[in-house]
Each structure stands twice: as structure tokens, then as C-alpha cells.
Structure 1
Amino acid sequence: MEMTFQHYLLGLFAVANNIPALPLHMNLCRGIDVAGQHRMCTVATGSSLVTMVVSLVIGAAVLEFFGISIAAFRIAGGLLLVTSGLGMLKSKCDEPAGFIPATLSEMIPLAVVPIAIPLTTGAGTMSTIILFAESAGSMNGLLKIGAAIGGVTLINYLTFFYSPVIVRFLGHTGMDIFTKIFGLITLALGIQFIITGVIAAFPVLH
């Protein structure tokens, strides 16, 4: 059954939101000008976007190359999302206190790893996109997933850029609550993937 754009958008945002990356991003952006902050946001969200698009375009081909069935990947991806969701439910958005690179050129690589990958777009996101693409069933479905990826990317960019305002408004408690809500959605999504994968692998259970 093909899902709506809203389902794809919510599902992707649950696993590809950048809330866990905000404290580190803010820590790195201290002391740099607005142009530098724009560049950091662009690099982080651009890297995340490329990762998601590559997963959408060639993810299924990679599985086929290695001889991995969709049912097996659903179970594995579901377990990964369950682990990620449980981690989000237990996590705290504490601001890290560490070394801040002296120059923008030293910060840019950190915008890719670990801010974009894996804090914003990790293995759980890639698994979700591949499974969404497999179940889309039509070009229209793939276009909806592509639009959802674009929507998540835009939201993440704005979240990165306005992170000081968001953190001041929500506070660490609000960010923890926000993270736990999406952790619960991620956990439920992972369990649904496992159920679907098990039924596909063992039709007698249906």
C-alpha cells in the first residue's frame, strides 16, 4: 500500500531530524560570522541530502548486488531503528564542552562527520529510505519520497540556522522531550518494519 507524502515526511523526519546535532553545531558556530554559519548549515544539510538521495537511488541495487532480500533487510533495518529509537528515548541533549576549532576550514569537516553523518542522517535513515522506496510501488511514490527528503532537508537547514533561538525557546528539557517523542515514533516504525519483514519471510504467519 502506497503511503501519502505526509507519512513519508513524518517517517523521515523521525529518523533524520538534527535535534541530536544541535548542541555540537552551536558549539562549533560560536565566534564565526553569519556567512560562516550559513556555510556550516549548507555543508551539514547538503551532506545529509546527498546521503538520503544516494540511498533512494541505488539502495535497492546495493541490496540486490549482495543478494540480500528485502524481507531480511526489513528485519535488520527494523532492529536498527528499534535500537536508535531506544537510544533517543534515553538520550539527553546536553551541550558538549570541548575544543572549538580555531578556523572555519577546521570546522567544515565536522559539519560532515559527525554532524551530518551520523547525528542527522545515519544508518537508520538510510534503511528507512531504502525500505520506503521498495514499498512505494510506483514512480509517483518515489517522487513523494523525494519530495519528503527535500522537505526534511529544508527543515533541518532552518533548524541548524536558527538553533540558538530554538534552544533558548525549548531549553534542554524541551529538546529532551522533543527527542523522546521522535524516539517513540522511530521505535514504532522499527517494530512495524520487523513485523512486515517477518511476515514476508514466513508467509505462514500471516
Structure 2
Amino acid sequence: MDMTFQHYLLGLFAVANNIPALPLFMNLCRGAQTPVQHRLCGVATASSLATMAISLFIGAAVLDFFGISIAAFRIAGGLLLVSSGLSMLKSSCDEADGLPPVSVSRMIPMAVVPIAIPLTTGAGTISTIVLFAESAHTMAGLLRIGGAICVMSVVNYLAFYYSPAIVRFLGRTGMDIFTKIFGLITLALGIQFIITGLTAAFPVLH
């Protein structure tokens, strides 16, 4: 049975949000002209969207190529999410160390790595999307996942676009709180993936 759009969106919101990338993104854009900042915003968002779309459409095929069962990948993805969630719960969103001014030609690659990948769309996000795709048994389910990816990309774009105001408004304490909330959701999602994977691999546990 396919999950709801809200379920997919909440799962992606927990693992594909760009809040951890905002301080670094602001440092990267420091001193840059407004058009350059908007360009970096678009590059980071587009790179994240492309990564999520590729994970949705060919992620399962890659697993088949390497002979990895979805149950094994679900457990591995769950462990990864648990690790990411624990790391987020323990982390502190300190402002990124000051970066030396760089040219636009060097800013663009940095907007892709590490801002888009892995700070916004990392291995946990890829695992989540592949597992969501495997759980969707109809085209409608895949469309709901695709819709959730698009909505998440819009949210990320707006967060990058308004990152100076967001970070000023939240402050260090607010950023810490948001990161820990997302970490708790990510941890719970990872545990659920592990339980589902173990049940599939060992039906006797069902």
C-alpha cells in the first residue's frame, strides 16, 4: 500500500532540509553581488533536485545491478539514518568558520559540494528516496514521491534565498533546536527502516 504525500514529504523534510548548510552558504556568499548569490542559490538547489530525481528513477536499478536486496538496503539505509540522526542530535550549528573570499568560478563547485551534496542531499536522503520508491507499488505513488521532491526543492530554494534573514532570526539557539528536531525525526525514520528490513529478511519476526 502506497504511503500518503504527507508521509513522503515529512520523511524528505527530515533528511533533505538544508538548514545545516545555511551558515556555510552565507559565508560562501559573503561579499558577493546579489545576482551571484541568486545564481549560487539556484546551483545548490538544482544539484540537490537532480540528485533526488536520479535516486528516484534509477536507484533501484543500481541495487539490482549489484545484487543487493531491498531488505538489505533498507537495513543499511536505516543504520545510516540512525547514525545521521544521532549526529544531528549531538551537533551544534555553530556558525561556519570564516572562509576566505573566493572567485565565482570557485563558488559554483562549492555550491554543489559540500552545500548541495552532502549537507542538503546526502547518503541518508538518497537511501530514503530509494526505499520510498521501492515501497510505492503504483505510478500514483511514484508521482507523490516526485511531488514531495519538488516541494522539498522549492523549500530548499526559499531557505537558501532567504538564508541571511533566517539565520539572523533563528540565531544560534534556534538553529540548534531545529537541527535536533530534524535529528530526532531522522533517528525514528531510520529505526522504522531497520524494523521493516528485518521483518522482510526474516518473516518469522513478523
Work out whether the TM-score is over 0.5. Answer: yes
User: What is the TM-score with the length of structure 1 in the denominator?
Assistant: 0.98
Partner SS for 2:36: helix
Q: Structure 1 counterpart of 2:81, which letter? A: L
Q: How does 1:5-16 map to 2 (within 5 A)?
A: 5-16=5-16
> SS at the partner of 1:67?
coil
By how many angstroms is 1:101 displaced? 3.4
Equivalent AA in structure 2 for residue 103 of structure 1? S
1:95 to partner: Cα distance: 1.0
1:146-165 alignment to 2 at 5 Å? Answer: 146-165=146-165
Deviation at 1:143, TM superposition (A): 0.2
Q: Which amino acid aligns with 2:110?
A: L
TM-score w.r.t. the length of structure 2 is 0.98
- Contact 2:2–2:136 (Cα < 8 Å) also in 1: yes
2:185 is aligned to 185
Amino acid paired to 1:32: A
**Aligned AA for 1:142?**
L
Q: Which residue number in structure 1 is paired with residue 72 of structure 2?
A: 72
Q: Which digits, 9 at most, give the CA deviation of each residue in 1:100-144, with x for residues without a partner?
A: 333211111100000000000000000000000000110000000
Could you list the runs of 5+ residues in structure 2 that have no partner in the other structure?
A: none
Q: Is the 8 A contact 1:101 1:107 kept in 2?
A: no
Give 1:93-108 correspondences, 5 Å limit.
93-108=93-108
Question: Which residue of 1 is the match for residue 205 of structure 2?
Answer: 205
In structure 1, the partner of 2:44 is 44
The residue aligned with 2:140 is 140
Q: CA RMSD in A?
A: 0.8
Aligned equivalents of 2:203, 2:191: Cα separation in 1: 18
